[in-house]
Every structure is written in structure tokens, then in C-alpha cells.
Amino acid sequence: MFSRPSLPRRDFLSLVGAISGARFAAWASSFVVAAGVRDIPSILGLGAALQYFMSWDKSAVERRVMSLRNLVCAQLKTLTKLSVISPPPGEAAAPMVTFRLPDRVDNTALQTTLQVKHRLEVKTFPRSQLNGLRVSTHVFNNEDQVARLIAALRQELS
């Protein structure tokens, strides 16, 4: 058992509160009580990450991820061997695009190939639900990555 009397619980929570904000300190308090673990670097790191995220212009982030999503959607539609099943750009769209693969293609094998050979991450589904993949765009993605994805799919589906 690890015990450090020089940093009592109330001082620890004050430190977390000072760095990460009162709401996060309350969450950290429940974590310490429930798990009996004080992973201070992780708690402080998460607090710093949340503060950084909260400083972003949310509408700019939304515009960026939706712009990338719409690019993915448009580029996927140029590949005749798959079909986009996500909603088109507009009110129902989210920053994710799901597409169905031909029956002859195993979605899990293609996901593995994209990951290992092309260093691209996509989500797969149980084949019994959908023989397809999902692309999720994030603020850290860029147009070059979209081009790499489309080129990889074109190569693997030929």
C-alpha cells in the first residue's frame, strides 16, 4: 500500500482544482474514493487536455471536421466498388462516414490491411451486421490523409 502523508487528500484535491478547475476536482475526488488510486500525472494531464480543448472555437472545429467528412464522402463515391450509406452532407450528417463493401471483401481483413500496410485507422463492424467500414474525421486529420485513404481503398479493392 502506498501512502504519502506529505500530500493529504484535501491538498491533492486543491492542487487538482487549481490546475484543472472545480468540476474536474470533484470528479477526481470520486475517482480517488472509488478506486483508491491516485494517478496524479494522469489526472493532471487529463485536466490540462480538457482545458486545452475548452479553449478551442467549437464552431471552427465543427466546420473543420464536417468539411473533412464531406470530402471523405465525396471521394468514397468515386469508388464504384463500395456504397456510402451515411447521410449526404446536411442536417443529418455527422463527422463519420460509413460505407458498405462488396460481398467478396472481408471488412475485418480490409481493416487490418489498411492499418498495417497503409497506417490508416477505420472502424469495422461484425460482418453479420454490416460488411462495411466507418471513417471518423477529427480535428487533427487533414486532406492528405483523406487522399491516402482513397488511394489505399482504390488499390485494395481493385
The full 3-state SS of 45-101, as one line of letters, equals: HHHHHHHHHHCCCHHHHHHHHHHHHHHHHHHHCCCCCCEECCCCCCCCCCCEEEEEC
Q: 106 and 74 in one domain?
A: yes
Segment 135-150 shows an average pLDDT of: 94
What confidence score (pLDDT) does residue 21 get? 55
Q: 72 and 47 in one domain?
A: no
Q: 121 and 46 in one domain?
A: no
The more confident residue out of 110 and 51 is: 110
Asked whether residue 32 carries a pLDDT value surpassing 60, the answer given is no
Q: 70 and 33 in one domain?
A: no
Asked whether residue 36 carries a pLDDT value surpassing 80, the answer given is no
Three-class SS state of 133: strand
Q: 84 and 28 in one domain?
A: no
Q: Residue 33: which domain range? A: 9-54
Q: 106 and 30 in one domain?
A: no
The enclosing domain of 66 has a CATH number of: 3.90.1150.10
pLDDT-derived band at 17 (thresholds 50, 70, 90) equals low
On whether the CB atoms of residues 102 and 82 are closer than 8 A, the answer is yes
Q: 35 and 102 in one domain?
A: no
- pLDDT tens digits for range 119-132: 999 999 888 899 99
Structural domains counted in the chain: 2
Q: 63 and 43 in one domain?
A: no
What confidence score (pLDDT) does residue 35 get? 59
On whether the CB atoms of residues 130 and 100 are closer than 8 A, the answer is yes
- pLDDT tens digits for range 75-114: 999 999 999 999 998 889 999 999 999 999 999 999 999 9
Q: 153 and 124 in one domain?
A: yes
What confidence score (pLDDT) does residue 39 get? 78
Please identify which residue in the block is written with the cell numbers 487490418.
112
Segment 66-81 shows an average pLDDT of: 95
